[in-house]
């Protein structure tokens, strides 16, 4: 007996009750793409609930009898309810994530369908042809697989298959497009005109959506700036007053509480802002993980090495400790304290060393990101090439010959790829084989889509002027959307910079002022050792937030993180000149 059969056989009784309590589970499972019957999933939910209930009862008894912890008992009692709600909500979360992925691809898929239909294919064959681009249209190709299953295998007529797809898809864009297509066919309308106008409408909606996204991100970042400045400055002042005048002030923050706030709560708050920005922003369907892999593969070991040897061993151990006298420790420490030529106060040494360590550790990942980001400019070159291809095609030259004629021109990053295509076309290699190889070398997902549509339009319909004109319009629309996104989000990048600079200047200057007051040296050094490194760390994270907001990619924040860390370092070095 298989596991799912066993679950359904023995836990169907509780699964039926769960389905009565939450009747939307079945519809959510269909839209989520989870290949499981709703009753089986409900039975699985019942099994997980029973297991969590048994674990909760056991933990509650142990906590009540052994530890007598009311808070722990309250948490363990709530576990079964939370587990049940999570299992019930899981299909909806999957459906929402799937809808977001499909919505990101669908405007480009719609332009592909309209181009294929203009080239002479029927809409049904064009829809099935999406499977040829399954490596590009990863999410929407699942719709084509489902259509082939319903139409070719189960014998549904195409309109009925499209109707079932519209009911099962979690994407409102797909549902509206398919429903409109069915209505157009039944009314005897012009299918080509409908698909073309629908594609243009989707791109216009994306353009309008960019402005809405910018407004939402602006409000989010304003709240983030207020929380960062108010909480960090007020907590820091309270902490220094508490530690500096402990004999007079009977209340305040402990070092443990301040450490938890500065090193746990503040970075988590920045992480929440990054997550919320990711939910709001438009995301490319394809994610290039290589810059992230290079960054973490270099940043983590270099940071650990520099912090352990250059910060802990060199600045915190006694002068004649064997680990501090180690030649590598001496070299690392002197490298990190290279900026100490300005003779800053001793309590700033660890923070200066941490700043230098973060900057040095980020340089390899930063260099690779700058190198790889150049490849994303290939889309602009492809757009200019498509516009020129339309004009050359109007002279009567065939598409392949037109490509060869355009190869001497400069299209930026796309130029070497175009010349490779032209050279191989001139010796008789098929265009499909050439572009498949080129697409594997192009990082930009949009660039891959444009080349895929161009190749198919030439294969199917010979690349007529009307089809290429339509494709060039789509490429120019994508470029306009990208430019609008950059313009609308670039100004928002100022907010994290303002937060980082203001918090660094305020806190570091206040620490320099407090150092002049008659406070116990040991107590003050302990407080400064807790606060100042956190300013460096949180400003580095703020740089990541700035990159995510301005470009939509977390890895882009490395540039801003290094800049903000460098600004913080300059503020620390300059503070003694202003505090006397």
Task: Please give the full DSSP string across 517-568, using - where no structure is assigned.
Answer: SS--HHHHHHHHHHHHHHHHHHHHHHHHHHHHHHHS-GGGHHHHHHHHHHHH
Query: How would residue 384 be classed by pLDDT, with cut points 50, 70 and 90?
Result: very high
Tokens of 490: 């670039």
Confidence (pLDDT) at 494: 82
Confidence (pLDDT) at 563: 92
pLDDT at 48 over 80: yes
Confidence (pLDDT) at 540: 92
Cα–Cα distance between 351 and 572 in angstroms, integer? 9
Cα–Cα distance between 162 and 167 in angstroms, integer? 9
Query: How would residue 562 be classed by pLDDT, with cut points 50, 70 and 90?
Result: very high
Mean residue pLDDT of the chain comes to 83
Confidence (pLDDT) at 120: 83
58 exposed, middle or buried (CB, 10 Å; 0-12, 13-18, 19+)?
exposed
Question: 3-state DSSP call for residue 119?
Answer: coil
Over residues 278-311, the pLDDT tens digits come to 888 777 777 778 888 999 999 989 888 887 777 7
Question: 3-state DSSP call for residue 286?
Answer: coil
Minimum mean pLDDT among 37-46, 193-202, 242-251, 547-556: which range? 242-251
Minimum mean pLDDT among 122-126, 253-257, 411-415, 541-545: which range? 253-257
CA neighbor of 539 nearest in space, from 578, 498, 491: 498
pLDDT at 519 over 70: no
Confidence (pLDDT) at 564: 92
Tokens of 377: 């400019």
Average pLDDT over residues 26-50: 84
Average pLDDT over residues 169-195: 87
């Amino acid at each position: 007996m298989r596991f799912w059969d066993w679950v359904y056989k023995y836990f169907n009784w509780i699964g039926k009750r769960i389905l009565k309590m939450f009747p939307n589970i079945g519809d959510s499972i269909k839209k989520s793409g989870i290949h499981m019957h709703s009753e089986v999933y409900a039975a699985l939910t019942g099994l997980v609930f029973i297991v969590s209930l048994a674990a909760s009862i056991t933990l509650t008894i142990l906590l009540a009898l052994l530890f007598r912890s009311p808070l722990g008992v309250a948490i363990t009692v709530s576990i079964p309810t939370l587990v049940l709600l999570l299992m019930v909500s899981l299909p909806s979360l999957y459906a929402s994530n799937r809808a977001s992925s499909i919505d990101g691809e669908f405007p480009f898929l719609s332009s592909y369908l309209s181009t294929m239909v203009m080239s002479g294919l029927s809409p049904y064959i064009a829809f099935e042809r999406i499977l040829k681009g399954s490596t590009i249209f990863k999410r929407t190709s699942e719709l084509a697989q489902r259509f082939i299953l319903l139409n070719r295998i189960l014998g549904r007529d195409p309109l009925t298959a499209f109707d079932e797809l519209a009911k099962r898809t979690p994407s409102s864009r797909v549902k509206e497009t398919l429903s409109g297509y069915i209505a157009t066919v039944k009314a005897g309308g012009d299918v080509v005109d409908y698909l073309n106008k629908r594609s243009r409408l989707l791109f216009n909606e994306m353009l309008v959506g960019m402005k809405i996204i910018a407004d939402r991100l602006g409000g989010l970042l304003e709240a983030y700036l207020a929380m960062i400045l108010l909480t960090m400055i007020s907590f820091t002042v309270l902490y220094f007053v508490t530690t500096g005048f402990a004999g007079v002030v009977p209340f305040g923050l402990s070092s443990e509480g301040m450490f938890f706030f500065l090193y746990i709560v503040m970075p988590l708050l920045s992480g929440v802002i990054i997550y919320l920005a990711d939910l709001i922003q438009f995301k490319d369907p394809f994610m290039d993980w290589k810059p992230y892999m290079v960054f973490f593969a270099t940043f983590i070991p270099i940071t650990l090495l520099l912090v352990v040897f250059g910060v802990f061993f060199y600045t915190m151990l006694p002068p004649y400790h064997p680990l501090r006298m180690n030649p590598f420790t001496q070299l690392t420490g002197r490298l990190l304290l290279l900026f100490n030529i300005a003779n800053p106060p001793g309590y700033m040494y660890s923070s200066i060393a941490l700043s230098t360590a973060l900057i040095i550790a980020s340089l390899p990942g930063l260099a690779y990101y700058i190198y790889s980001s150049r490849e994303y400019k290939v889309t602009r070159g492809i757009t200019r090439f498509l516009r020129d291809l339309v004009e050359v095609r109007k002279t009567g030259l065939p598409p392949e010959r037109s490509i060869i004629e355009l190869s001497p021109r400069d299209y930026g990053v796309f130029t070497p790829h175009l010349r490779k295509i032209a050279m191989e076309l001139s010796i008789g290699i098929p265009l499909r084989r050439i572009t498949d190889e080129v697409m594997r070398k192009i990082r930009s997902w949009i660039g891959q889509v444009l080349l895929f549509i161009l190749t198919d339009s030439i294969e199917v319909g010979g690349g007529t002027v009307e089809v290429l004109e339509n494709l060039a319009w789509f490429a120019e629309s994508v470029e306009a959307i990208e430019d609008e996104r950059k313009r609308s989000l670039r100004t928002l990048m100022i907010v994290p910079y303002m937060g980082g600079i203001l918090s660094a200047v305020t806190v570091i200057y206040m620490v320099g002022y407090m150092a002049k007051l008659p406070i116990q040296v040991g107590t003050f050094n302990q407080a400064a050792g807790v606060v100042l490194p956190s300013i460096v760390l949180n400003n580095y994270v703020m740089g990541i937030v700035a990159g995510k907001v301005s470009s939509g990619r977390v890895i882009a924040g490395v540039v801003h993180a290094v800049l903000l860390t460098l600004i913080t370092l300059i503020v620390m070095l300059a503070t003694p000149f202003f505090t006397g």
